Amino acid sequence: MVDTLNIDINKTAKSRIQEVDFTNIPFGKVYSDHMFVADFEGGQWKNFRIKPYEPLQLSPANATLHYGQSVFEGMKAYKNEAGEVLVFRPKANFLRLNKSAERMCIPQISEEMFMQGLDELLKLDQDWVPDLPNTSLYIRPFIFAADDYIGIRPSDTYRFMIFTCPVGAYYSEPVKVKIETKYSRAAAGGTGAAKAAGNYAGSLYPAMQAHKQGYHQLIWTDALTHQYIEESGTMNVMFVIGDTLLTSPAGDTILAGITRDSVLTLAREWGYKVEERKVSVKEVMEAIEAGTLKEAFGTGTAATIAQIAVIGHEGKDHTLPAVEGREFSNRVLKSLDEIKTGRAEDKWNWVHKF
């Protein structure tokens, strides 16, 4: 039986929605009216509440600020033709948040807290879910250490929050990426499989170096040999080489992307040859050289399918086949879009409606 959460709801006196130009929304800068909050104190989650979106008051000694004991998720909501709100695979995000939390010594949250907090928040802010093409409501659940204590140990108190922001496209064009062979995102036994805040801080410096060289993003390679492709920024990476869809196995150092799983599920359903195995840089370079690399793209909630136009490696840029001719990734992008917005059959029960 699912327990009903007792959520205290305090609505904003004045919505900010009129201030938003939904035809031109920057990614991640506009926040909806409300947020869901819960506290972990005395060994349990309590004080479930929805309140107007507002800044937090934190002690300078807040543990998260110093040691990064914090995990997060990212998912999206869309509107169907009837104007109902559809959230794409939130249960998968809930499960992954708990997996990340375990790795970072953060207490588990219940499915009721995650789903009911989400549903109530979306009911209140449903007008913030955009319905124009390439727009959606990005949803950010996260948990952070709340102790005011600068000794290093797991915090005794935590806060779980969800806020949302209407967003437009993450990338406005096919991306130029550089294969990173010096720095690493994650090492075996590290925190790469968790959506832990610090992973992203550590990735900024190498990404900034690549930006200066004109690349949008990096493709990370394994920390030990730099010979195998891992993932890219906030995306998993896939290639179509010959007639095979190829991607590195999610695991210790690679985040198990939910878009990745959805794309692989559709590919298998459509009868494509799919291989989840280590993909070497050499193999990709040789396929580009031989003309057998047909498609390369990133998969992630923020970008959905980000076409890769150019791959830089060891100082040389390799231009990939034109995006228009890419059969698989264009098909999967269209299909995912139709499922998410309720225009195609939801065979795997991916879409959640409150």
Ligand X SMILES: Cc1ncc(COP(=O)(O)O)c(C=O)c1O
Residues of this chain that bind ligand X (CB under 6 A): 74, 195, 231, 234-236, 255, 257-260, 299-301
Closest distance to ligand X from the beta carbon of 143 (Å) = 15
**Cβ of residue 231: shortest distance to ligand X, in angstroms?**
5
Residue 259 vs 341, nearer CB to ligand X: 259
Taking alpha carbons only, the member of 280, 279, 306, 282 closest to residue 295 is: 306
Could you tell me the smallest distance in angstroms from the CB atom of residue 90 to ligand X? 11
193: alpha, beta or left? (left if phi > 0; alpha if psi -120 to 50): alpha
Question: Among candidates 169, 254, 179, which has minimal Cα distance to 215?
Answer: 179
Considering beta carbons, is residue 101 or 235 the nearer one to ligand X? 235
Which residues lie closer than 8 Å to 300 by C-beta, 6 or more apart? 233, 234, 235, 236, 257, 259, 306
CB of 264 to ligand X, least distance (A): 11
* Cβ closest to ligand X, residue 82 vs residue 208: 208
Q: What is the dihedral of CA 86, 264, 200, 279, to 10 degrees?
A: -170
Q: How far apart are CA 128 and CA 121, in angstroms?
A: 11
Q: How far is the CB of 247 from ligand X (least distance, A)?
A: 11
| Residue closer to ligand X (CB basis): 59 or 134 | 134
135 vs 234, which CB is nearer to ligand X? 234
Please check whether residue 196 is in contact with residue 71, taking contact to mean a CB–CB distance below 8 angstroms: yes
CB 113 within 8 A of CB 46: no
